[in-house]
Amino acid sequence: MDDSEFYAQLGRTGLKISKVALGTVNFGGRVEEIEAHKLLDHAVDAGINLVDTADIYGWRVHQGFTEELLGRWIAGSPARRDKIVLATKVGNRFGSEINDEGLSARHIVRACEQSLRRLGTDWIDLYQMHRVDRSVAWEAAWEAMEMLVAQGKVRYVGSSNHAGWHIAACQESAIRGHRFGLASEQCLYNLLVRNAELEVIPAAQAYGIAILVWSPLHGGLLGGALRKLAEGRAVKSAQGRAAEALAVHRARIAGYERFCSEIGRDPAEVGMAWVLSKPGVTAIVAGPRTPEQLDGAIRAASAGLSCAERTRLDEMFPALGEAPEAWLS
């Protein structure tokens, strides 16, 4: 796979990122530190340069643990920092004090400085607002972000889990302040949950904002969950969001796994390849627990799907369409 196939531009920034990002939500609690370091090395060796985390990740051990783990990995070799595009997030509750959450300038700046210390780095490449904070004016959040950019602590700003109209409002606020605005939006999007097609992806495309997709397999549900349950080796797909969805969508998931078997493809690779084939999608954030799972994500980025295969998948998991036409049909 050549570079033109494996890398994409992060929105309007000119920054090149791998179409597969290494997500670190499983680091700490599900993936022990020594194995996490091996995964990071494996990812970099495979050409993956986008590493995505959040200040709260690692909560199974303690909040901030994953950033600390990444910091120890970076410290192991100074060259590592220059090889990766490091993304983290701010906004969810971190601490017990009244102001230890949200997108106030106080919390954004304080959280950024704490993340930098845990990560052991001077700068964050992509600092993402982890959730919407309806109590904060966009102008106030942008002033804090602009200060961090001016200080060299942040290179680009992104959003995560924002609605389409939030993306538009946020970007219009940036435009009024003569700011660059958002580089990316990280959203939930997969065959089973296609809500982002209604407004989030169109809004991002209209403003030239990259779309990074988290949970492209819906917590493992689209990664061969039924087969793994039958074999007694299900992990993520046997708990949480995936387990709840499986109870509702078992028949469709069974049909999906049969289809993947018919075409001789691994369900996880098919699910990720489908997401990467969609207009507006820049990269997927894979959360592997093993190098083999990471290799599957890399294959998904290169193998793609035929037109006939995409049509069949759309029949099994119908598109929602784009608003407002989708509401009128």
Residue 234 pLDDT? 64
Domain layout of the chain by residue ranges: 3-328
What are the pLDDT tens digits along the chain (329 aa)? 566 789 999 999 999 999 999 999 999 989 999 999 999 999 999 999 999 999 999 999 999 999 999 999 999 998 999 999 999 999 999 999 999 999 999 999 999 999 999 999 999 999 999 999 999 999 999 999 999 999 999 999 999 999 999 999 999 999 999 999 999 999 999 999 999 999 999 999 999 999 999 999 999 999 999 999 988 876 665 567 788 889 899 999 999 999 999 999 999 999 999 999 999 999 999 999 999 999 999 999 998 999 999 999 999 999 999 999 998 87
Residue with tokens 């924002």: 162
Question: Tell me, what's the pLDDT at 2?
Answer: 63
In this predicted structure, what is the pLDDT of residue 235?
Answer: 63
Query: Active-site residue numbers?
Result: 57
Fold of 3-328: TIM Barrel (3.20.20)
User: Strand pairing partners for 182?
Assistant: 157
Query: What is the predicted pLDDT for the residue at 123?
Result: 98
Q: Rounded to an integer, what distance in angstroms lies between the CA atom of residue 226 and that of residue 234?
A: 8
For 76-207, where are the alpha helices, taking DSSP H only?
79-83, 105-119, 138-150, 164-176, 200-207
What local confidence, expressed as pLDDT, does residue 239 receive?
A: 61
- In this prediction the pTM is 0.95
Contacts of 94 by beta carbon, 8 Å cutoff, 6+ apart: 55, 56, 63, 64, 100, 101, 111, 114
Task: Report yes or no: 107 and 101 within 8 Å, Cβ to Cβ.
Answer: yes
At residue 117, the pLDDT reads: 98
The residue written with tokens 């995936």 in the block is: 242
